[in-house]
Every structure is written in structure tokens, then in C-alpha cells.
């Protein structure tokens, strides 16, 4: 894909949604971090339902740590893998207090040292909470980047590198959200809705469908 096409794709995505936001509900970097840890293999809607009950009761490392694994599990048991996630969240809270004064670190290495926080989660927090131009590649972004040929790659790390290289600078801060939303609602895994896709004429996917 050439640079002019890439530019036009992001220009249109921005035109349709000038201020894209994550669909996870949060009000502090800590709430975002916990929501992202909980969202692994779960839907944002499911996570939001759980955090809507949890955060009014406990939305700081100290308060969640005080709940303990069992207490926290009560709030998140509707989310897949809740037991393992509860353990990770409690340990993360403990480490945030111990190493970072109860604050979420604005630093990749420190974030990735927390349990339940891998490269993708760290990238989401760095981009969404701290506004670094980094790219968290999830299943939607991986699919959209490959189908459109915006940033093809065999694995998520390759796609991440390609996106950082090819997304025009002015779109880099928000590209993550535009691509996720496009993948979630238009370029869906089983049946991409090419018939009503804003970038259909620019997309290089050879198997475009007429579905809208």
C-alpha cells in the first residue's frame, strides 16, 4: 500500500470520529490499567459492568488490595478467567504501592513487570492514559492491518513495528482506537462489512464482500 492511500484511510477514519476513545470506562490511569488487565479474552461491555460495581467501592491500589483475592472475585466473577485475573490484580496493586507509591508508572518496563501486564496492555496504558505514540496490537488491529495491507505482518510484533513505521505521524496517537473500532464494527472477523466500509475503495483485501 502506498503512503497516499494510508493517509487517506486515516483521514477518513478521523473525519468520522475526530476524538476516538477506548470503550472501557475509566477515570484514572489506575482504573484504566485494571480494566485492561480484566479485558483479556473478555468484552469491554462485560468489563464495564463489573467495574461499574467495583470502582465505587474500590478504585485505588490500597482499596482493591484490602478486598483480597476473594473479595475482588465477587465483583469480577462474571468475567472470564476471573480467578487468575483477581490474583494478578491483587499482586499488581501490591507492587504499585511497594514500587511506585500507589501510582501507575509512565514507563514500559515498569508496567510490563506487573503481573497480568504484557506488551499489549502496557501499550494501551501508555497510549490511552499517558498519550505516547505507541501501538497496542490486538486481534482487531492485527486483522485490519493485514486485510487492508496498511501494515501487514505475520505476528503482532511485526504488525506493531509496521504500524509505527507506516502510520502518518499526525494520526499515530489515535490510530490504535480507529483501527480497533473499525475492526470491531465494520471489518469484522467472520464477515467484513465491505459494502458499507468507508475505506472500501482504498482497502487492498482481495476477498472483499458485498455485505453491508
Q: Which residues bind ligand SF4 (CB under 6 A)?
A: 147-148, 186-187, 192-194, 197, 199-200, 203, 205, 208
Residues 6+ apart with CB under 8 A from 51: 24, 25, 26, 31, 34, 35, 38
Annotated catalytic residues are 120, 138
Residue keyed to cell 469484522: 188
Residue 151 C-beta: closest distance to ligand SF4, Å: 13
Which CB sits closer to ligand SF4, 85 or 147?
Answer: 147
Which CB sits closer to ligand SF4, 106 or 200?
Answer: 200
Distance from C-alpha of 155 to C-alpha of 175, rounded to nearest angstrom: 18
Residue 21 C-beta: closest distance to ligand SF4, Å: 21
Contact 129, 29 (CB under 8 A): yes
Residue 180 C-beta: closest distance to ligand SF4, Å: 13
C-alpha cell at 130: 499517558
Residue 10 C-beta: closest distance to ligand SF4, Å: 13
Which CB sits closer to ligand SF4, 96 or 199?
Answer: 199
Distance from C-alpha of 32 to C-alpha of 79, rounded to nearest angstrom: 16
Phi-psi domain of 199 (left: phi exceeds 0; alpha: psi -120 through 50; beta: other): alpha
Which CB sits closer to ligand SF4, 109 or 201?
Answer: 201
Amino acid at each position: 500500500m502506498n503512503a497516499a492511500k494510508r493517509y487517506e484511510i486515516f483521514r477518513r477514519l478521523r473525519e468520522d470520529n475526530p476524538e476516538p476513545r477506548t470503550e472501557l470506562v475509566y477515570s484514572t490511569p489506575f482504573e484504566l490499567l485494571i480494566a485492561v488487565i480484566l479485558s483479556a479474552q473478555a468484552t469491554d461491555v462485560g468489563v464495564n459492568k463489573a467495574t461499574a460495581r467495583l470502582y465505587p467501592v474500590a478504585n485505588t491500589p490500597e482499596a482493591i488490595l484490602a478486598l483480597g483475592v476473594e473479595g475482588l472475585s465477587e465483583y469480577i466473577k462474571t468475567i472470564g478467567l476471573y480467578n487468575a485475573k483477581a490474583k494478578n490484580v491483587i499482586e499488581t496493586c501490591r507492587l504499585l504501592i511497594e514500587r511506585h507509591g500507589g501510582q501507575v508508572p509512565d514507563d514500559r518496563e515498569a508496567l510490563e513487570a506487573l503481573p497480568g501486564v504484557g506488551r499489549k496492555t502496557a501499550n494501551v496504558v501508555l497510549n490511552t492514559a499517558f498519550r505516547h505514540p505507541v501501538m497496542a496490537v490486538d486481534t482487531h488491529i492485527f486483522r485490519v492491518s493485514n486485510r487492508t495491507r496498511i501494515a501487514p505482518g505475520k505476528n503482532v510484533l511485526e504488525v506493531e513495528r509496521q504500524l509505527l513505521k507506516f502510520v502518518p505521524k499526525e494520526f499515530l496517537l489515535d490510530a490504535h482506537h480507529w483501527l480497533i473500532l473499525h475492526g470491531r464494527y465494520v471489518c469484522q472477523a467472520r464477515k467484513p462489512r465491505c459494502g458499507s466500509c468507508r475505506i472500501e475503495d482504498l482497502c487492498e483485501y482481495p476477498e472483499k464482500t458485498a455485505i453491508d
